[in-house]
């Protein structure tokens, strides 16, 4: 019977203790993380993104259309101006060149014949006929003269003399005809026509030679080859890009600075470049070009700040997206607080300062900052404890349990 009454009493007492502990815990001041104000050298920086480009670059392009027959370089290779990069197929140009050379040879021979008076066999035949006709003409004249003497002596008739003269006239006409045939072997129109055909063939030869020369793609400048992915057998049109070539011992980096940060950037400021693809490596340079205008970059409005970077190992490649940090200002022995301690309440920037076991609002005047800390110009002292951002709502005068990190 006693046990029946005793058990409820025990349960009631346990519940009471639990309620008492919960009330006690709830009445405890909340735990809040704090950090100390410290002195250090702080460097204000503008972290952003950037893109690498060569200081000097040029694009090697195909001068004529054709299939790629031979590739003579590889990506990343150093080349000199005029060096052969690739060769296109020249079979069509070679055929045109051979045809032009054959025509030139043939027409040159024709002109030689014309200069010599015509084809040698024809000339020999006509000269022989002319010589034979002249011999006959001399004989006919002697024969006529003989009969003229006989006529004067009454030993021949006038008709016999006329007959001999007619033969002379026929032979003279024959010789004139043969000379006309000989002259026709080398007519002025033949020479003009041959000369015109020769000039045309020579022009075709020059065009073929030019095609062959244009079939070789050469480097326009000294430098390293980049953006090169040409494959053998690929067809190129005149003007197509074959390879980009640039001097990479020094590169220019276009740093994209948000419009609100441009006022912190000046010519000559040091810049540090890093690349995610090569962790642990960094390159240094200085700002050497101020942006000419504000341009959109995605959802941002940025100024394109120019930076020169020494790249002796040629590790930074054109077109690479890199990280940039412009170091704007440096303050020695400066009072600094973590950015997580700063709040803006009612238009005032400040912190919650620990005084005993309570927090007090304190307005602060800030100087330069970096990615993690801000310089405090007024409002705090070295060693002061300031509350860090928390999900709990903080109020001036609140009692807290400080936890230092």
Do 380 and 364 touch, CB atoms closer than 8 A? yes
Torsion of CA 143, 146, 152, 154, to 10 degrees: -80
Do 276 and 323 touch, CB atoms closer than 8 A? yes
CB atoms within 10 A of CB 88: 24
Low-confidence spans in the chain with pLDDT less than 70: 1-27, 118, 120, 123, 182, 185-189
Matching CATH topology for 31-43+332-404 and 46-56+246-329?
A: no
Say what angle helices 188-214 and 91-115 make with each other, to 10 degrees: 160
At 344, phi and psi to the nearest 5? -125, 110
Q: What is the pLDDT of residues 325-358, one digit of tens each?
A: 999 888 999 999 999 999 999 889 999 999 999 9
Question: Given this model, what pLDDT does residue 299 score?
Answer: 94
Domain boundaries, the chain: 31-43+332-404, 46-56+246-329, 119-185
Question: Given this model, what pLDDT does residue 22 score?
Answer: 45
What fold is seen in the domain 46-56+246-329? Elongation Factor Tu (Ef-tu); domain 3 (2.40.30)
CATH number of 31-43+332-404, picked from 3.40.30.10, 2.40.420.20, 2.40.110.10, 3.40.50.720: 2.40.420.20
Question: Given this model, what pLDDT does residue 77 score?
Answer: 92
Q: What is the pTM of this model?
A: 0.57
Helix, strand, or coil (residue 249): strand
């Amino acid at each position: 019977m006693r046990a029946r009454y005793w058990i409820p009493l025990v349960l009631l007492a346990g519940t009471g203790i639990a309620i008492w502990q919960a009330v006690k815990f709830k009445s405890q001041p909340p735990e809040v993380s704090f950090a100390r104000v410290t002195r250090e050298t702080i460097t204000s920086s503008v972290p952003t993104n950037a893109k690498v480009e060569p200081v000097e670059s040029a694009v090697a392009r195909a001068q004529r259309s054709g299939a790629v027959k031979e590739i003579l370089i590889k990506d990343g290779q150093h080349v000199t101006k005029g060096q052969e990069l690739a060769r296109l197929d020249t079979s069509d140009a070679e055929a045109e060149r051979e045809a032009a050379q054959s025509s030139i040879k043939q027409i040159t021979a024709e002109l030689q014949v014309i200069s010599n008076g015509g084809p040698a066999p024809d000339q020999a035949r006509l000269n022989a006929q002319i010589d034979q006709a002249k011999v006959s003409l001399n004989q006919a004249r002697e024969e006529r003269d003989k009969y003229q003497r006989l006529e004067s002596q009454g030993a021949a008739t006038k008709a016999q003399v006329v007959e001999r003269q007619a033969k002379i006239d026929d032979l003279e006409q024959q010789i004139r005809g043969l000379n006309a045939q000989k002259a026709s072997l080398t007519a002025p129109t033949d020479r003009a026509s041959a000369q015109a055909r020769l000039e045309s063939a020579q022009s075709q030869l020059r065009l073929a030679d030019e095609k062959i020369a244009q079939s070789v793609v050469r480097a326009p400048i000294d430098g390293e080859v980049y953006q090169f992915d040409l494959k053998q057998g690929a067809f190129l049109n005149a003007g197509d890009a074959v390879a980009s070539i640039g001097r990479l011992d020094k590169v220019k980096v276009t740093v994209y600075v948000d419009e609100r940060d441009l006022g912190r950037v000046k010519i000559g400021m040091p810049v540090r470049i890093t690349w995610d693809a090569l962790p642990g490596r960094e390159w240094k340079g200085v700002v050497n070009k101020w942006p000419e205008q504000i341009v959109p970059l995605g959802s941002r409005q940025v100024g394109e700040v120019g930076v020169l970077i020494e790249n002796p190992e040629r590790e930074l490649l054109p077109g690479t997206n890199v990280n940039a940090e412009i170091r704007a200002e440096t303050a020695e022995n400066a009072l600094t607080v973590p950015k997580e301690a700063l709040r803006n309440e009612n238009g005032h920037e400040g912190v919650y300062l620990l005084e005993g076991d309570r927090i007090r609002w304190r307005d602060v005047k800030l100087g330069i900052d970096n990615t993690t800390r801000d310089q405090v110009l007024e409002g705090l002292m070295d060693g002061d404890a300031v509350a860090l951002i928390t999900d709990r709502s903080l109020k001036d005068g609140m009692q807290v349990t400080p936890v230092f990190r």
